Amino acid sequence: MNLTVNLRTLAQQNAVLRGELSPADLDLDLKDEIVQVRSPLHHDLEVELLPDALLVRGRLQVTVDCECVRCLQPFKYDLVLDPYTLHLPFTGEEAVTLDNDNADLTPFLREDMLLELPQHPLCKPDCAGVKTVAARPGRRTGAKPEAKASAWAELNKLKL
């Protein structure tokens, strides 16, 4: 089910839209292993008719299932767009399409939500990454690791 508003109704009063849209309604088929949207998008919006456009204001919220890019642990991320503002002109490249005086807001909500998804999600800002394996039995634990020659040291030897 798409989120639509009727322009004739908006001419009389602003529309208040509260509810949720499922990932299927938003046509979210992310081919991403790190970020998945499985919960519905909650919206609390007010739509106002301007002389040459629609003005949408309110709040969007969705819980995203993520995998930390450092430690690979799954975690939930609350994506909140508050305040959310959307200006939809009736003419031009970014014009809202009308079907029998109904404007479909769903593609615009989808696009704004996709633009806000984390590209490199971290479970916490100071995530240390994947934990290293503890020292194995029979191995010397007090020994210092061998110092390897730096690639920069080799480049410094060049006489140019």
| Model pLDDT for residues 20-72, shown as the tens digit of each residue | 999 988 887 778 889 999 999 999 999 999 999 999 999 999 999 999 999 99
What pTM value is reported for the model?
A: 0.75
Domain count, the chain: 1
Structural domain range at position 12: 4-116
pLDDT > 80? residue 141: no
In a domain, 86, yes or no: yes
In a domain, 70, yes or no: yes
Q: Over the stretch 96-139, which tens digit does the pLDDT of each residue have?
A: 989 999 999 999 999 999 999 999 999 999 998 887 665 455 55
In a domain, 125, yes or no: no
Both structure tokens of 73 = 């642990």
In a domain, 43, yes or no: yes
In a domain, 139, yes or no: no
Both structure tokens of 120 = 């490199």
